[in-house]
Chains A and B, each alone.
Chain A
Amino acid sequence: MTKTVLYDSHRQSGARMIDFGGWEMPLHYGSQIEEHHAVRRDAGMFDVSHMCAVDLEGEQATAFLRRLLANNVDKLKFPGKALYSTMLNETGGVIDDLIVYFLGEQRYRIVVNASTAVKDLAWMAARRDDWQLAATLTPRREGQNALAMIAVQGPRARQLVWQVLPEQRAASESLPPFVCCVSGDTLIARTGYTGEDGYEITLPAGQAAALWAALAAAGVRPCGLGARDTLRLEAGMNLYGQDMEETVSPLDAGLGWTVDLVSERDFVGKTALLAHPQQYRFLGLVLQERGVLRAQQTVHTCHGDGQITSGSFSPTLQKSIALARLPLQATVGDAVEVVIRDKLLAAKVVKPCFVRNGTALV
């Protein structure tokens, strides 16, 4: 299994490690629920160095992204701006979801998921070659110029980052959400995967352990992938491989808002999406009884059956919640039933965003 540069830090903090797509990553450091609360109420940090940063540059870098991605990079109006997008195959299925940062004239940083990085890079390189566009792709996960990524999230996250990295305060303090600043090989972005304020810090791998230790000393709680999953679920954010995959259209995974079908621009998967309109609505569920909603469970609605794609217990709401693909006629407020083992349990359909900035929305 592959280890990130922070592996020793995790072991020293008593992490329980698990195999996450071939990466040996912390699941939790004692209590997943306490880590979850730390992010909602204070500040927590995640090692996300298993995700892969890819630098893209060249005369036709923008032209390449305009054809490659379902979202439109023309929306990146100024350097530092970030855009969430899916990357589709010809049948309109999701190869991966990613964030692309606009760094400067024909220069971008793309961050893709850990377990899909190899396939993503192969796909990107093949499309570039097919289209004969001048753009170089440089993955930054391994080797001499490897980068590490630490996400610091929570209401006190930014303040604690400034305390530890005072020299970064001036540039990072004024960042609006979904914008980054770059100094040398350090990139600080006001992004995250928790529904809380915070930064994702990308830096040279050799500097990561010192930053992790300094943040921990400042009171930022190390958090594992367990808390990361319940936080993103409460925030209504999709997880690749669960809520979407190569056989699922982004329109059926609640990602219609990230797909640009308005502009004239052609991109991979556009023809397929236009030919196959949305089949499902992607909505949230709150279980009204005791139990835990899980992926793959069947949802009975009065319009037909649907399926849960992600489910767990919400530590903030103290109830079980889920993301589900439901029939198109299903709507917020509907009463539905979920099949859990041999029982039918009552659930309510809600907007798929349960908690934001520490506040329950359902």
Chain B
Amino acid sequence: MKNNDLLVAGVLILTAGTYGFRWAGQLLRTRVRFPPRAVELLEVAAVVLLTALVAVTAFTQGHGSAGYARPAGVAVAGLLAWRKAPFIVVVLAAAVTTALLRFVKL
């Protein structure tokens, strides 16, 4: 699929950068104080990116709608996760709900 070289480049960038981040904090510890506000913003940025990814992968397919079965499955999973159901239950509920809705052709 796609361009294999680009894929390898992507994996290497993510690998090297992540390992670099893991070193950076330890090396900087004695020299700088990281403002708590920056830490907070980094965390919000990560959640923002991942939420957008959830929305796009739940509701869309290509440039159009993904139909109803998939968002319904994700919604059921979200509800279960909110009620603190075990992780395995949450994930299976998403798949089963979506598969059933497709089976009955909704």
Q: Do A and B come from one complex?
A: no
